[in-house]
Structure 1
Amino acid sequence: MSTRIEIATNPGEEERAAILRPLRAHNLAKAGDPKPEAVALVVRDEQSDEIIGGLSGEIFYRWLFIELLAIPEQAKGQGIGARLMKMAEDLAREKGCVGIWLDTFDFQAPGFYQKLGYTEFGHLDDFPPGHKRFYFQKRLG
């Protein structure tokens, strides 16, 4: 097989899908079907019904990955974040998950997750420069 490598500037979905195809095939052969399922818990403004925050993630390989957790400034300190995390844990248990994992920055909420029983399993220094990105997990019993 003859190959060449190109730099694709501003690649689109077509390039991403083409790169992902052999990776997914390999993972499927080695680890089985991840059975992906997107999940979201939305926080709405009661008066406007507008979505103002929430939690978004994906379940695959029996783990819930929390990709996003956003609480609007005006709603912070009301326990919404803790309620969302509790609801996510309950949902993950219902779906038969082994645990939950997520990442956060040092200027976001690492202490919040630690108070909820999440443990660090890694971090990346200087991402962004001068800060840390943390990776947390919580096994569900």
Structure 2
Amino acid sequence: MISKTLLEIRLNSLIDLRMFYFISLYFRLENKESHKSQEIGNLIRVYNRSKREEAESEPLNLYVEDEKGNLLAGLIAETFGNWLEIEYLFVKEELRGQGIGSKLLQQAESEAKNRNCCFAFVNTYQFQAPDFYQKHGYKEVFYLQDYLYIRQRYYYQKNL
């Protein structure tokens, strides 16, 4: 016959074990980009859109490829209401300084104007492209100083 105390210990251990099993089954840490992280990004975008003023939201993505279809540069953005929000602008390092980024930005701004956008917004790090955006008429709205290991993070906007 099992004593009441021993039975309680076994039940508590079983509950603890089940809780641990539940956590290890449903919570997983990933230290890499995956389809799940992209899915989370999409879910938060859908949620954010549901909370803001009614406005048509549309992706605005531009790509530069070579003749074999290899990606060389691109701009990933979204227009909503009267805003263009630039999420990423990338040019392969060996192609920088040739005007590709400027052309991508100009094309995105032109298309945003066609969609009745009046403003553009972007954020960038100190080691990325603050001078690039300033050269293209973007004004600093604010910045985060001593942002982790990269020093400053800048937020810019531009009247289109």
Which is worse superposed, 122-131 or 37-46?
122-131
Query: Match for 1:71: what amino acid?
Result: V
User: Where in structure 1 do 4 or more consecutive aligned residues deviate above 3 Å?
Assistant: none
**Partner of residue 62 from structure 1, selected from 82, 88, 97:** 82
* Runs of at least 5 residues in structure 2 that lack an aligned partner in the other structure: 1-26, 30-35
Residue 5 (structure 1) aligns with: none
How do 1:12-23 and structure 2 match up within 5 A? 17=43, 21=47
Residue 73 (structure 1) aligns with: 93
Look at both structures and tell me which one has the larger radius of gyration over its CA atoms: 2
Residue 111 (structure 2) aligns with: 91
**Superposed CA RMSD:** 2.4
Count of matched residue positions in the alignment of Structure 1 and Structure 2: 125
User: If the length of structure 2 is used for normalisation, what is the TM-score?
Assistant: 0.69
Residue 4 (structure 1) aligns with: none
2:111 maps to 1:111 = no
Distance in 1 between residues matched to 2:112 and 2:87, nearest whole Å: 14
Shift of 1:45: 1.6
Q: What SS is found at the alignment partner of 1:112?
A: helix
Q: What is the aligned-residue identity percentage?
A: 37
Shift of 1:78: 0.7
**Partner of residue 157 from structure 2, selected from 134, 137, 141:** 137
Higher helix proportion = 2
User: If the length of structure 1 is used for normalisation, what is the TM-score?
Assistant: 0.77
Query: Match for 1:63: what amino acid?
Result: W
Higher strand proportion = 1
- Whether contact under 8 Å (2:126, 2:150) holds in the other structure is no
Distance in 2 between residues matched to 1:67 and 1:57, nearest whole Å: 5
Residue 17 (structure 2) aligns with: none
Which is worse superposed, 79-88 or 124-133?
124-133
2:58 maps to 1:37 = yes
Shift of 1:60: 1.4
**Partner of residue 53 from structure 1, selected from 70, 73, 76:** 73
Q: What SS is found at the alignment partner of 1:78?
A: coil
